[in-house]
Amino acid sequence: MQTVDIPALQDAALSALAAASSSKELEQVRVAVLGKKGSLTQVLRGMGEVPKEQRASLGALVNVARETIEAALAGRAAELAEREMETALQSEAVDVTLPGRTRTIGSEHLISRLTREIVEVFRGIGYRVVEGPEVETEYYNFTALNAPPDHPSRGLQDTFYVRDRSGTASRVAGESEVLLRSQTSPVQVRIMEEEAPPIYILAPGRVYRRDVADPSHLPQFTQIEGLVVDEGISFAQLKGTLEYFCREVFGPERSTRFRPHFFPFTEPSAEVDVSCGICGGAGCRFCGHTGWLEILGCGMVDPNVFGFVNIDTTRYQGFAFGLGIERIACLKYDVPDLRMLLEGDMRFLRQF
């Protein structure tokens, strides 16, 4: 039998391993050395022909060579795999500035979003949300809110009336006892009829006024009404509540002021202004050079209103406020034309 130079074989295998430049080449080397017909395998297969006395030493030599080669093979394999993965990744690199593949999520309407934000502010101080009908009776929209019987806001010029199908005739020609609510305040009355104090509610909803749609008017818009009835309620608390609201919605740097006003259903009544966010109160075109933007009306619930719903005024007091969401939308986003809110223009809706 021809003698095999094991160290030479090992050296040859190791250098072949080192020379392999890919996993594929490496595999060829493995097969050539350790495969069924591999050079080292051949040596092991030929062991039987090796003289007995040499068998042990040669066996040991071959085993060492195999282990060495296998270890080197594993190391080289890992090395090549790593390199190949790197190469592959490099070839798969993308232009990260190309647009992503999305299923675009929809947007919430600006008015809904603002309504939700405002509701959350008041929910945080313990208010519940309630609702009422959009087609109301004159009683809830006006009478029970202490509006005088001949108040101009009841007129056909200002309020939408619908045909009363119950057969009742109206006092003023052409009017009716059924109307599209011109404010969310009737919800106040309905809640006070149904529930006993303490009452802390917020009533958002759609309201209607007979204005022709133009950049600053809509015949249909959104209000939020707030009502508190409890023991020991004061004007100071109304002020504190609305100042908290303004800070939350407009930001802590904005200030508020209360201007005495008149509403039939509150007394004392006030309008609330927030300082102009554009000029910071110095006066600019946005705020009509006053430094202030009117945002809501409020006041202490008029005792006459409590009278309509039989709430004991010696025990309970209350305050109420109402604000227009479209107005807040204009103030926060400077929407140039309110009609955009009702057009459904995707380019507008998708901005919010």
Partner 1 sequence: MKVSLKWLKTMVEVPSDLAAFARRLDLTGTAVDEVLQTGAVLEGVVVGHILTRERHPNADTLWLTTVDVGPHNLGEDGRPEPLQIVCGAQNFVAGNKVPVALTGTTLPDGTTIKKSKLRGVESRGMNCSARELGLGDEHEGILLLPEDAPVGAAVSDYLGISDTVFDLEITPNRPDCMSMFGVAREIAAVYDTTFELGRELPEPPVEGEAKDLVRVSIDEPSRCPRYTAHLIRGVKIGPSPLWLAERVTAAGTRSINNIVDVTNYIMYETGQPLHAFDFDTLTRDEEGRVSIVVRAAGADEQFTTLDEIERRLTPDVTVIVDGNAAAAAGVTVALAGVMGGLASEVTENTVNILLESAAFDPGHTSRTSRNLKLFSESSSRFERGVDDASCETFGARAAALMVEVGGGSVAEGVLDCYPAPREIPVLSLSMPRLRSLIGAEIPDEDAVGILRRLGCTLESLGGGSYQVTPPSFRPDLEREIDLYEEVLRIWGMERVEPKLPRGEGRIGSRTPEQLKLDKLGFALRASGLNETMTYAFASREDTALLGMRAAEGREPVELINPINSEQTELRQTILPGLLRSVAYNQNHGVPHVQLYEIGGVFNTSEGRKQPRETQRLAGVLTGSWNQQGWNEEARGVDFFDAKGVLENLARELCIPRLRFVTLTADEAPWLARGQAAELRSGSAVLGWLGTVHPRSAAAFGAASPVVAFELDVAQLLRAAADAREFEPVPLYPAVTLDLALVVDGCVPAEKLVQVARSAGGALLADVRVFDVFVDADKLGAGRKSVALALSYRSPERTLTSEEVEKLHSRVVRKLEGATGGAVRST
Residues 222-281 binding partner 1 (CB under 8 A) are 228, 230, 232-237, 239-241, 243-244, 257-262, 267-271
Return the closest-CA partner of residue 335 out of 249, 215, 221, 218: 215
Q: Are 247 and 331 in contact (CB under 8 A)?
A: no
Please identify, using beta-carbon distances, which residue of 5 and 150 lies nearer to partner 1: 150
Kindly tell me which residue out of 13, 26, 62, 111 binds partner 1, with binding defined by CB under 8 A. 111
How many residues lie near partner 1 (CB under 8 A)?
A: 97
β-pair partners for 292:
275
Closest to partner 1 by CB, 43 vs 110, is 110
| The only residue of 1, 89, 96, 105 in contact with partner 1, by rule CB under 8 A | 105
- Of 59 and 155, the one with the shorter C-beta distance to partner 1 is 155
Q: How far is CA 237 from the centre of its chain?
A: 31
Beta carbon of residue 202, minimum distance to partner 1 (angstroms, whole number): 9
Kindly state whether residue 305 participates in binding partner 1, applying the rule CB under 8 A: no
Looking at the Cβ atoms of 48 and 100, the one nearer to partner 1 is: 100
SS3 state at 129? strand
Q: How far is the CB of 130 from partner 1 (least distance, A)?
A: 9
Count of CB atoms situated within 10 Å of the CB of 63: 12
Type and span of the H or E element at 343: helix 340-343
Burial class for 186, CB neighbours closer than 10 Å (0-12, 13-18, 19+): buried
Q: Which CB atom, from 75 or from 198, has the smaller least distance to partner 1? A: 198
Of residues 200, 198, 202, 201, the one with CA closest to residue 230: 198
Would you say 329 and 110 are in contact if contact means Cβ atoms under 8 Å apart? Answer: yes
Which residue lies nearer to partner 1 by CB, 21 or 234? Answer: 234
Of 48 and 260, CB closest to partner 1: 260
Partnered with residue 203 across adjacent β-strands are 225
Residues 112-171 that bind partner 1 (CB under 8 A): 112, 122-129, 133-137, 148-152, 155-157, 160-168, 171
Closer residue to partner 1, CB minimum distance, 36 or 165 = 165
CB count in 10 Å sphere of residue 196: 9
| Least distance between partner 1 and beta carbon 201 (Å) | 10
CB of 223 to partner 1, least distance (A): 14
Q: Which of 34, 210, 277, 309 binds partner 1 (CB under 8 A)?
A: 210
Q: What angle do CA 41, 8, 26 make, to 5 degrees?
A: 60
**Shortest distance, CB of residue 88 to partner 1, whole angstroms?**
20
Least distance from C-beta 55 to partner 1, angstroms? 51
Strand order in the sheet with 292-301: 128-129, 199-208, 220-230, 317-324, 292-301, 266-275, 256-263
Q: Give me 21's structure tokens.
A: 């430049």
Rounded CA gap, 266 and 258, in Å? 14
Under the criterion CB under 8 A, does residue 206 sit at the interface with partner 1?
yes
Please tell me whether residue 176 binds partner 1 under the rule CB under 8 A. yes
Query: Judged by CB under 8 A, does residue 101 bind partner 1?
Result: yes
What residues contact 234, with CB distance under 8 A and at least 6 apart?
317
Report if residue 282 touches partner 1, rule: CB under 8 A: no
Which of 228/320 has CB closer to partner 1?
A: 228
Burial tier of 113 (Cβ tally within 10 Å: 0-12, 13-18, 19+): middle
With CB under 8 A as the contact rule, which of the stretches 11-19, 37-45, 72-80, 204-212 interacts with partner 1? 204-212
CB 90 to partner 1: min, Å: 20
* Near partner 1 in 24-63, by CB under 8 A: none
Q: How far is CA 83 from the centre of its chain?
A: 45
